[in-house]
Structure 1
């Protein structure tokens, strides 16, 4: 057979083989995802979300002339937030990714409306995608409340344009420029008692970091019927507390860089708590470099999160982490949803950013960076308390997992780019 004839004979067969191979792989991935999701759904029916986990008491700590209070239990932070709204005299800025239509969500809505009725300027932002299953009636407010529904449909979803596809994943409350809250807590009954999360209250001049973040976001994304908010400069500057904001519309993603810079500087320890942990190559590299030079690198994540496919997509990274000296701690009995880290008793971050692609280079996010030994000591205490409710995953245990688990992890690993 001549070479040209052989090529004509071979090419369509190669194309068919490649096509069928790709289809087979896609079907295998769908089957694996469906199996994992189905098993997890059965588990959730048999094991309702728990609420028994150790807590760290919220205590105010002075940093840069402001009182910082770390909350690790939903009912505590919700009580403080509602108190702040009830005491508002001038304005309230409220922003949430998820806001449930349940007793907790309705209480927040009621207090925001009451504040507006007594003459307080109330501005509300919520993400339409995050609240897709929330009844439309709950999302309706009287005209006295200025509401921005961050749109469900964004044109960048078709063209894969990050500038025009990111979600608003932030959670911020600011009252009168005097009290501010930021962290992982969405608004809902489930989060009040059954999830282990972390939120921070700031009282004092450093509230400006959150105030300014809300104002900038509102003014950038407001529609013609929304009033423009005054852009106020900071009355005082103190580099010990700084907001770090991811803004896909501006192609700015500094939270990721803040983590990596802190890890590059580390000499003693790095403690990271995350609900969803799928680090990219550079982030993982910074962790492994730190571990190689003797830094105690610990990552606390849920044994099973509320997004089980994200768990499986992340697991192919565990071997590199464990072999590289990073210890993995699996939180038990509850969903840990916090987005925090503390390094060397000097640097701390608390905010809304997950360590995954969507948060690090996709969504609107905000973290506070805090350079203070007292708050770092407190966050080390929080981490130590959480470890009493976690188990250490060893390399030996990980290497002995069932063969089918390994296959499922490999099939689902490409899905990490969706999280």
Structure 2
């Protein structure tokens, strides 16, 4: 027995190292192959819906599914700003689209508008530093690329995308800023016009004041008037204080569903509770459908996601692979009554790691529109069947199993 234990102690480290090397090699190989494929990929047109304002209580909500439409209206809001602009983004490319936004913000500051800007440094490491040299009349807060382990305020990436102008119009959703996203990606954003823009402004101001290290920038006034009763509710994940309400928002909405749950997500790596909630919904007769990209911009995330497909399909959940473009939306609509549009993916990084914002809308007209958007997207998908999925190659099955221990990291 003692000899066997001694042998086991010697072998286990080698097994662990071999497993790590195999996983690392698989990730490197997949990433390299995907990078090569992207060089020769041809972007094609995909179906999308036209933006149309929808009255919601005292507000107006517009849903965008095409980047050019969104950027046009965002730039118009910036160009018409008179008092204050709050601009926050995860990725801000230094290309022609990024430069257009930069110039619009500079012009606004030059005409006397207070311009406050936040971006995530890690997400933009590949962008030349010179692009982010903004004039001193623009207030800047950079979320640091490499957080200090002893500083919880810096934990988690700032994955949020917000624009608030003059307390009258606000934008929220999955779109980053860049030329590719304008025409090459299928994403979803919302514009809010009306008193509940205060929800978006409050989210920006709280983040700014909480992360304004050493008071290098002026503190922003937190004096917006927010309603106690509104069909528009903003949920914010805040790693600094370990608060993650977006996950609970999804679980509660899924648990209430009686007829249909339609989800569209860029990365599908759900935890056990989310999988259980969706499976239970199917058992009580709910039509559960999920659209994900056939090939996303993160190939490793794709392979980790595929490890869930057998369980989901076996439960009666329907899966649809979006074709010809990256679908980057983070949306859901349930029972023709409830919808959410935001920045959080269904994975650990978003639900228990990053700073995220999701707009929850309890309104039949918005939910009906989001169902229309879903069906338009569904027309550009291929549905996976359980029988067809089981027939995938042995190599694919083994790769999924090899990478499956990495799921908690994503």
TM-score scaled to structure 1, two decimals? 0.95
Q: Secondary structure at the match of 1:166?
A: coil
Indicate the residue corresponding to 1:111 in structure 2. 104
- Of 19, 22, 26, 2:16 maps to 22
* Count of aligned residue pairs for this structure pair: 409
Unaligned runs of 5+ in 1: 1-5
- Of 388, 393, 400, 1:409 maps to 400
Maintained 8 Å contact 1:273/1:340: yes
User: Within 5 Å, which residues of 2 pair with 1:108-257?
Assistant: 108-156=101-149, 164-223=154-213, 224-234=215-225, 236-257=227-248
Indicate the residue corresponding to 1:391 in structure 2. 382
Q: How far off its partner does 1:315 sit?
A: 1.2
Maintained 8 Å contact 2:143/2:154: no
Maintained 8 Å contact 1:167/1:363: yes
Indicate the residue corresponding to 1:327 in structure 2. 318
Q: Secondary structure at the match of 2:196?
A: helix
Distance in 2, matches of 1:408 and 1:401, equals 12
Moved more, 28-37 or 367-376: 28-37
Indicate the residue corresponding to 1:3 in structure 2. none
Larger radius of gyration: 1
Q: How far off its partner does 1:234 sit?
A: 1.8
Distance in 2, matches of 1:163 and 1:282, equals 27
Moved more, 357-366 or 234-243: 234-243
Distance in 1, matches of 2:317 and 2:333, equals 15
Distance in 2, matches of 1:143 and 1:33, equals 42
Deviation track 1:218-274 (CA, whole Å, cap 9, x = no partner) reads 010013220000011425443310000000001110000000100000000000000
Q: Does 1:81 align with 2:81?
A: no
- Of 351, 355, 371, 2:346 maps to 355
Maintained 8 Å contact 1:73/1:192: yes
- Of 15, 30, 37, 1:36 maps to 30
Q: How far off its partner does 1:41 sit?
A: 2.3
Maintained 8 Å contact 1:51/1:195: no
Maintained 8 Å contact 1:64/1:206: no
Maintained 8 Å contact 1:163/1:251: no
- Of 46, 50, 65, 1:53 maps to 46
Distance in 1, matches of 2:253 and 2:181, equals 30
Backbone CA RMSD of aligned residues: 1.3
Moved more, 231-240 or 84-93: 231-240
Maintained 8 Å contact 2:144/2:154: no
Q: How far off its partner does 1:162 sit?
A: 6.7
Maintained 8 Å contact 1:64/1:238: no
TM-score scaled to structure 2, two decimals? 0.97
Maintained 8 Å contact 2:122/2:145: yes
Maintained 8 Å contact 1:351/1:367: yes
